[in-house]
Structure 1
Amino acid sequence: MIFSECIEINPRVVLEKGKEYPFIEMANVDLFSRSPKAIDIKPYSSGVKFQQGDTVIARIEPCLQNGKGFYVNELNCGFGSTEFLVFRPKIEDLDNRFLYYFLQTDYIRKSMIASMTGATGRQRVNNDIFDTLEITLPDINTQSRIADILSTYDDLIENNQKQIKLLEEAAMRLYKEWFVNLRFPGYETTEIIDGVPEGWNEGLVKDLGKVITGKTPPTSVKENYGGPIPFVKIPDMHGNIYPLETELTLSERGANTQRGKLIPANSLMVSCIATVGLVCIAHQPCHTNQQINSIILNDERYLYYAYFKMKGLKSLLEGVGSNGATMTNVNKTKFESLKIIFPDIRVIEIFNNHVEPMFKSIYTLSKQVLLLRQARDKLLSRLMSGEIEV
Structure 2
Amino acid sequence: MSYKEELLGDYIDILSGFAFKTKDFVDNGVPIIKIKNISPPCVTLDDLTYVSNEVAEKQKKFMLSYDDVLIAMTGSHINQWTSVVGRVARVKYSDSTLLNQRVGKITIKANAEADINYIYYYLSQDAVKIKLAAKAGGAANQANISPAHIKGLSFPCPDLAIQKKIGNILKSYDDLIENNQKQIKLLEEAARRLYKEWFVDLHFPGYEDVEIVDGVPEGWTFGVLGDVAINSGKKEKKEKRDNYKYYLPIDCIPKKSLGYIQVNDVSLAKSSLIGFQKGDIIFGAMRPYFHKVVVARDKGLTRTTCFVLNAKDPSYWSYLAMLLFTKDTVDYATQISVGTTMPYVRWNDMRNMPVIIPDLEIAERFNKQIQPIIDNIASLSEQVILLQQARDRLSPKLMSGEIEV
* Matching residue's letter, 1:2: L
Partner of 1:272: 285
Query: Whole-Å Cα distance in 2 between the matches of residues 266 and 250 of structure 1?
Result: 23
The answer to whether 1:263 aligns with 2:276 is: yes
Report the CA distance shift for 1:162/1:51 in structure 2 as closer, same or farther (over 3 A).
closer
Report the CA distance shift for 1:53/1:88 in structure 2 as closer, same or farther (over 3 A).
farther
Task: Give 1:58 deviation, angstroms.
Answer: 2.9
Partner of 1:85: 104
Partner of 1:142: 162
The answer to whether 1:207 aligns with 2:227 is: yes
Tell me which of 11, 19, 43 is aligned to 1:6: 11
* More displaced stretch, 184-193 vs 351-360: 184-193
> In the alignment, is the contact (CA less than 8 A) between 2:233 and 2:307 conserved in 1?
yes
Partner of 1:97: 117
Which residues of 2 match residues 312-331 of structure 1 at below 5 A?
312=326, 313-321=329-337, 323=339, 325-331=340-346
Query: Whole-Å Cα distance in 2 between the matches of residues 226 and 350 of structure 1?
Result: 38
Question: Could you list the per-position Cα deviations for residues 116-147 of structure 1 after superposition, in whole angstroms to 9, with x for gaps in the alignment?
Answer: 44466444434442354333422211110001
Query: Whole-Å Cα distance in 2 between the matches of residues 267 and 245 of structure 1?
Result: 17
* More displaced stretch, 314-323 vs 177-186: 314-323
Question: Could you list the per-position Cα deviations for residues 165-185 of structure 1 after superposition, in whole angstroms to 9, with x for gaps in the alignment?
Answer: 111211211111111111112
The SS at the match of 1:231 is: coil
Q: CA RMSD in A?
A: 3.6
Which residues of 2 match residues 139-178 of structure 1 at below 5 A?
139-178=159-198
* More displaced stretch, 136-145 vs 56-65: 56-65
Alignment gaps of 5+ in structure 2: 1-5, 19-23
How many residue pairs align between the two structures?
378
Partner of 2:258: 241
Task: Give 1:365 deviation, angstroms.
Answer: 1.9
Tell me which of 188, 197, 209 is aligned to 2:217: 197
The answer to whether 1:385 aligns with 2:375 is: no
Report the CA distance shift for 1:357/1:41 in structure 2 as closer, same or farther (over 3 A).
same
Task: Give 1:310 deviation, angstroms.
Answer: 1.0
Tell me which of 83, 97, 107 is aligned to 1:65: 83
Task: Give 1:278 deviation, angstroms.
Answer: 0.9
> In the alignment, is the contact (CA less than 8 A) between 1:53 and 1:96 conserved in 2?
no
* Matching residue's letter, 1:179: F
Report the CA distance shift for 1:289/1:125 in structure 2 as closer, same or farther (over 3 A).
farther
The SS at the match of 2:97 is: strand
Which residues of 2 match residues 286-301 of structure 1 at below 5 A?
286-301=300-315
> In the alignment, is the contact (CA less than 8 A) between 2:234 and 2:276 conserved in 1?
no
Which TM-score applies when normalising by structure 2?
0.79
* Matching residue's letter, 1:292: C
The SS at the match of 1:381 is: helix
* More displaced stretch, 281-290 vs 138-147: 281-290
Task: Give 1:290 deviation, angstroms.
Answer: 1.8
The SS at the match of 1:152 is: helix
Task: Give 1:368 deviation, angstroms.
Answer: 1.8
> In the alignment, is the contact (CA less than 8 A) between 2:69 and 2:105 conserved in 1?
yes
Partner of 2:385: 370
Query: Whole-Å Cα distance in 2 between the matches of residues 142 and 198 of structure 1?
Result: 68
Task: Give 1:258 deviation, angstroms.
Answer: 8.2
Query: Whole-Å Cα distance in 2 between the matches of residues 364 and 349 of structure 1?
Result: 22
Report the CA distance shift for 1:11/1:348 in structure 2 as closer, same or farther (over 3 A).
same
Question: Could you list the per-position Cα deviations for residues 220-256 of structure 1 after superposition, in whole angstroms to 9, with x for gaps in the alignment?
Answer: xxx66566432221233216534466212269xx89x
* Matching residue's letter, 2:283: V
Task: Give 1:345 deviation, angstroms.
Answer: 1.6
The SS at the match of 1:51 is: coil
* Matching residue's letter, 1:330: V
Alignment gaps of 5+ in structure 1: none
* Matching residue's letter, 1:288: T
> In the alignment, is the contact (CA less than 8 A) between 1:55 and 1:99 conserved in 2?
no
> In the alignment, is the contact (CA less than 8 A) between 2:244 and 2:300 conserved in 1?
no
The SS at the match of 1:8 is: strand
Report the CA distance shift for 1:341/1:171 in structure 2 as closer, same or farther (over 3 A).
same
Query: Whole-Å Cα distance in 2 between the matches of residues 148 and 281 of structure 1?
Result: 34
The SS at the match of 2:83 is: helix
Question: Could you list the per-position Cα deviations for residues 344-386 of structure 1 after superposition, in whole angstroms to 9, with x for gaps in the alignment?
Answer: 1211111122222222222222222221111111111211222
Question: Could you list the per-position Cα deviations for residues 267-301 of structure 1 after superposition, in whole angstroms to 9, with x for gaps in the alignment?
Answer: 11000113543111112232211211111321222
Which TM-score applies when normalising by structure 1?
0.82
Report the CA distance shift for 1:130/1:27 in structure 2 as closer, same or farther (over 3 A).
closer
> In the alignment, is the contact (CA less than 8 A) between 1:52 and 1:77 conserved in 2?
no
Task: Give 1:388 deviation, angstroms.
Answer: 0.9
The answer to whether 1:114 aligns with 2:134 is: yes
